Chain A
Amino acid sequence: MAISPERPDNTLTMAEKHAIPIDILSDATSEVLKNYRLWFAVPGEVKTLYLEKFGLNLEKHNGAGRWELPVPATYVLDRGGFVRAGEADPDYTVRMEPAEIVAAIRGIVGGP
C-alpha cells in the first residue's frame, strides 16, 4: 500500500486505476502521516524555493493550505501489524533497499 498527502489522482483513466495492483491511498487530512510520526510542515525557505525556482505549488496537489509532506518511509508489517523492518529518512533521496524488503517478507511468510 502506498500513501501520500495528495488528493486522489485524477490523471489516471478508470482502466489504469483498475490495472494498478496495489492500493494508492490519499491521506487528505494528514491524520495518518501524523499517527506514524512522519508528518512535517515544509520549511519556509524550501517552500519559497519550490514556488519560485521549481514552479511547484504543493497546494495544487495536496489542497489549499497544505504545505505539508511525509518523511518518505517504508514499513514491512507482519500479520499482527507489527513493524518487522523499515526505514524512514528525512533525506528524501534515500529509500529502503528492495532486497531488504523482500528478505523481511520472506522472514514472515517463510521460504527461501
Chain B
Amino acid sequence: MSLKERLKEFDASRKRPPEITAILRRGIEDVRASGAAGLRIGERAPDFTLPNQRGEMTTLSERLARGPVVLSFYRGVW
C-alpha cells in the first residue's frame, strides 16, 4: 500500500465530528486560496542558513556541495 493510501485510511479512521472536519477543510481551502504553493519543478531552491538540533548553523549550499538534498518542510511535533 502506498503512503498516500495509508494516510487516507488513517485520516478516515479518526471519526471526527462533522462540524470539526468542516472547519479543518475550510482552513485547508483558505490556505490553498492564499497561493502558498511552494517551489516549481526546475526552480532553484533559495539558499538558507538555520540552526540544527545541536545548535550548529547549517547552510543548504554547503550540503549541496556534498550531493543531492531532500528538503522536508513539516509543521512541528505536536
| B interface bracket (residues with beta carbon within 8 Å of A) | 35 or more
| A interface bracket (residues with beta carbon within 8 Å of B) | 35 or more
What B residues does A23 contact at CB under 8 A? 52-53, 58, 63
B53-78 CB mask vs A (1 if < 8 Å, else 0) is 11100101101110111111111111
Among A2, A26, A43, A76, point to the contact of B30 (Cβ < 8 A): A43
Q: How far is the CB of A20 from chain B (nearest CB, A)?
A: 6
A86 touches B38 (CB 8 A): yes
Q: How far is the CB of A82 from chain B (nearest CB, A)?
A: 5
Among A4, A81, A92, A97, point to the contact of B61 (Cβ < 8 A): A81
B50 touches A32 (CB 8 A): yes
A91-110 CB mask vs B (1 if < 8 Å, else 0) is 11111011101000100110
Cα-based distance from A77 to B30 in the complex (angstroms): 29
What A residues does B34 contact at CB under 8 A? 40
Query: B15 an interface residue at 8 Å Cβ cutoff?
Result: no
What A residues does B44 contact at CB under 8 A? 80-83
B45 touches A77 (CB 8 A): yes
Where the two chains meet, the residues of B that have a C-beta atom closer than 8 Å to any C-beta of A are 2-4, 7-8, 11, 20, 23-24, 26-32, 34-48, 50-55, 58, 60-61, 63-65, 67-78
Where the two chains meet, the residues of A that have a C-beta atom closer than 8 Å to any C-beta of B are 1-6, 8-9, 12, 14, 17-18, 20, 23-27, 31-33, 35-40, 42-43, 45-46, 49, 53, 56, 58, 61-62, 69-86, 88, 90-95, 97-99, 101, 105, 108-109
